[in-house]
Amino acid sequence: MEMLLEALASLMTFESIITVLVGVSAGLLIGSLPGLTATMALAVLLPFTFSMEPLQGLIALGAVYMGSIYGGAFTAILINTPGTPSSIATTFDGYPMARQGRAYEALAGATIASVIGGLVGVAFLLLLAPPLARWAVAFGPSEMFWVAMLGLTLVASLSSGSLLKGMIGGCIGMLLSTVGVSPVGGETRFTFGFPAMQGGIELIVALIGLFVIPELLNMAAEGRSNISESGEFGKTKVGIRQVARHILGKPVNLIRSCLIGQVIAIIPGAGGNVTSLVAYNEARRFSKDPQSFGKGNIDGVVASESSNNVMVAGSMIPLLTLGIPGAPPDAIILGVLLMHGLRPGLDLFTESGVLTNGFILSMGMAALMLLPVGLLGARLIHKVVIKTPYHFMVPAIAMVTILGTFALRNSLLDVGIMMIMGIAGYFLRLIGIHAAPIVLGLILGGIAEQGYVQTMLAAVVDPIPWLRLVSNPLSKVLAALVVLGAATAMLPAWLERSGRLDKGSPNRGDDS
């Protein structure tokens, strides 16, 4: 407790506050550019922290992390482009809201949800780090396989319409994830003889292509902007207070999303992208009005954004206690800790407790800082997007996506892959295969493959190898959850199909 106060005191300096402010703003800017991920934001800004004191450096990086995860929501809502993969689920309802002229409402909702999520994550980290850390190591290969399977049950709710087409999309995504070097066999697959294809299809490249390019093509074909102007400031103004009241009025959604965010954050290997998708899916499943999801329901935005910001501090639990990065950006934080001579472990909370607690508290401060910085930023960006004529908008967005895709791996081939996937995505959407299941397959394919093949490898001496998949208590529980999840997801779809097949089909996919 004393340590906590001491840590708090060390944060209340002018220097620290400025560091957090600058860090959050820089993170927000980088995070909102599609292709520039939180990992990259941290890597780019890392050298600036070398000249700082250890605490100051960690504060800056924590703030950048928080800002960049939040920044992804901006473009997700305004141009249907998840700025970071953690914001995929934000597009599902955020973008329809923007098209209805409720962009600012969605942005405000995302901001408030992010602030709350960020604070909840910090609270978990401060209070429950050691017990929760034991959880992280319970997830071995077979458990990871089931986590991926659990994620795949999301296909049912993401496929908006035909379940079969959703499954086909999911399979295509999983197959795309196998291009390149195999994670277990170590060979190159499906490169068709091109050395450059050894790099495979990066999730973010596919993500940008599948989400942005079809929107651009749509805008061009229709000859007008996809985003409605009716929600401009001063006209149908929805105040920040009303949005806050709406969100806080539904605490169950918030609590559920934050818990999901925390649980998934400590599973190593499942990052913010899985977190927000699962939280979104559960919000929809438990909603009284699941039909309104995907058509501009703010609860979807709240679920996605609160859960992925919980992850920022939440994924630090296995990192700080065990040295296990819970999400990709944490690997960089780990490097910084080690370079400053701080070894992850419980010592970090006792011997160098002031530093660690200072770092944790600074993330809380960064979360609070999102409110003013975010709302101001939202206002500015929103204005720019609304006022810009569409014939500027289309080439400008295209340029930013090209730059972002290129910057990810310094690869011009990636830009080509992005465009081709986007163009294919446009036509696939017309025949009912949507981007979301493909992306889901791409995210989970690698996790599922690794878990499955590793389990099979470890079971070479067993008489029936595949029984290893359900040999641990945790994997049994997860397997049961998969069956349950699949059943509850399929049942309504099946009932709907057999009940009112003809009515169901015409309005499929129109709004997505």
Partner 1 sequence: MILRLNTDMAAGGFGLVFAAVLWLGGTDIGRLSILFPRAILVILVAFSLLLFVKGFFRPGGRSIEIPGSPQRLVILILLLLVWWFAIGKLGFVVSSFLVMLFITWFLARVEGPVSWKRLLLWTPIIAVMVGGFYSIFTQVLNVRLPSGLLF
Partner 2 sequence: MKFSKSTLVGAVSAIALAGIAGNVQAAYPEEPISYVIPFNPGGESDITARFQEPILEEILGVSVNVSHRPGGGGAVAWSEFQNNAEPDGYELIGVNIPHIIGQPIQRSDAGFETDNWEIITFFHSTPNALIVPANSPFNTLEDLVEYARENPQAVTLGGSGTYSANHLDMLRLEREADIDLTYIPFSGTGPLPAALEGNHVAGIFNYTMLGVQMEDRVKVLAVASEERVPALPDAPTFKEQGYDIVGGAYRGVAAPAGTPQEIITVLEDAFAEANRRITAKQEPLGFVMEYITGDQVDEVITQLREAYAPILEATE
Is residue 493 a contact residue for partner 1 (CB under 8 A)?
Answer: no
Stretch that binds partner 1, among 78-86, 87-95, 165-173, 258-266 (CB under 8 A): 165-173
Interaction residues for partner 1, span 39-98 (CB under 8 A): 44
Of 6, 2, 24, give the one whose Cα is nearest residue 367: 24
Is residue 158 a contact residue for partner 1 (CB under 8 A)?
Answer: no
Stretch that binds partner 2, among 37-45, 69-77, 254-262, 359-367 (CB under 8 A): 37-45
- Toward partner 1, which CB reaches closer, 473 or 498? 498
Of 234, 341, 389, 473, which one interacts with partner 2 (CB under 8 A)? 341
Is residue 178 a contact residue for partner 2 (CB under 8 A)?
Answer: no
CA–CA gap between residue 293 and residue 92 (Å, rounded): 8
Is residue 492 a contact residue for partner 1 (CB under 8 A)?
Answer: no
- Toward partner 2, which CB reaches closer, 46 or 381? 46
Is residue 196 a contact residue for partner 1 (CB under 8 A)?
Answer: no
C-alpha of 76 from chain center: 11
CA–CA gap between residue 34 and residue 402 (Å, rounded): 9
Stretch that binds partner 2, among 2-10, 34-42, 289-297, 428-436 (CB under 8 A): 34-42
- Toward partner 1, which CB reaches closer, 344 or 425? 425
Please list, in sequence order, all residues whose beta carbon lies within 8 angstroms of the beta carbon of residue 82, skipping any fewer than 6 positions away. Answer: 34, 72, 75, 76, 88, 90, 91, 207, 211
- Toward partner 2, which CB reaches closer, 33 or 370? 33
CA–CA gap between residue 179 and residue 189 (Å, rounded): 6
Residue linked to tokens 């400025």: 18
Is residue 183 a contact residue for partner 2 (CB under 8 A)?
Answer: yes
Is residue 458 a contact residue for partner 1 (CB under 8 A)?
Answer: no
Stretch that binds partner 1, among 66-74, 166-174, 198-206, 276-284 (CB under 8 A): 166-174
Phi, psi of 412 (to 5 degrees): -75, -30
Number of residues that bind partner 2 (CB under 8 A): 60
Structure tokens at 502: 């003809």
Phi, psi of 39 (to 5 degrees): -60, -45
> Closest separation between CB of residue 173 and partner 1, Å?
10
Is residue 266 a contact residue for partner 1 (CB under 8 A)?
Answer: no
Stretch that binds partner 2, among 130-138, 308-316, 390-398, 483-491 (CB under 8 A): 130-138
CA–CA gap between residue 190 and residue 198 (Å, rounded): 9
- Toward partner 1, which CB reaches closer, 358 or 509? 509
C-alpha of 179 from chain center: 22
Is residue 212 a contact residue for partner 1 (CB under 8 A)?
Answer: no
DSSP H or E stretch at residue 188 = strand 188-189
Q: How is the chain split among helix, strand and coil, in percent rounded to 5?
A: 75, 0, 25
> Closest separation between CB of residue 47 and partner 2, Å?
6
Is residue 175 a contact residue for partner 1 (CB under 8 A)?
Answer: yes
Stretch that binds partner 1, among 78-86, 135-143, 156-164, 373-381 (CB under 8 A): 156-164
Is residue 268 a contact residue for partner 2 (CB under 8 A)?
Answer: yes
Task: Give the E-state strand segments of 2-135 in sequence order.
Answer: none
Please list, in sequence order, all residues whose beta carbon lies within 8 angstroms of the beta carbon of residue 440, skipping any fewer than 6 positions away. Answer: 151, 152, 154, 155, 158, 170, 173, 277
Phi, psi of 296 (to 5 degrees): 105, 45
Interaction residues for partner 1, span 408-437 (CB under 8 A): 410, 412, 415-416, 419, 423, 428, 430-433
Is residue 130 a contact residue for partner 1 (CB under 8 A)?
Answer: no
CA–CA gap between residue 381 and residue 386 (Å, rounded): 9
Dihedral sign computed on CA atoms, order 58, 63, 66, 72 = negative
Residue linked to tokens 């097949």: 501
Dihedral sign computed on CA atoms, order 104, 106, 111, 112 = positive
Phi, psi of 288 (to 5 degrees): -75, -20
> Closest separation between CB of residue 342 and partner 2, Å?
11
CA–CA gap between residue 22 and residue 43 (Å, rounded): 16
Strand-pairing partners, residue 189, are 180
CA–CA gap between residue 452 and residue 182 (Å, rounded): 13
Residue linked to tokens 């490169």: 191
The counts of H helices and E strands in the chain are 23, 2
Is residue 452 a contact residue for partner 1 (CB under 8 A)?
Answer: yes
> Closest separation between CB of residue 233 and partner 2, Å?
39
Residues that bind partner 1 in the complex, under the rule CB under 8 A: 30, 36, 44, 161-162, 164-165, 167-168, 171-172, 174-175, 178, 182, 184-187, 189-192, 213, 216-218, 220-224, 389-392, 394-396, 398-400, 402-403, 406-407, 410, 412, 415-416, 419, 423, 428, 430-433, 445, 448-449, 452-453, 456-457, 501, 505-506, 508
Residues that bind partner 2 in the complex, under the rule CB under 8 A: 39-40, 42-43, 46-47, 50, 136-141, 180-188, 191, 193-196, 198-200, 202, 268-269, 318, 322-325, 328-329, 331-332, 334-335, 338-339, 341, 343-345, 409-411, 446, 450, 454, 457-458, 460-461
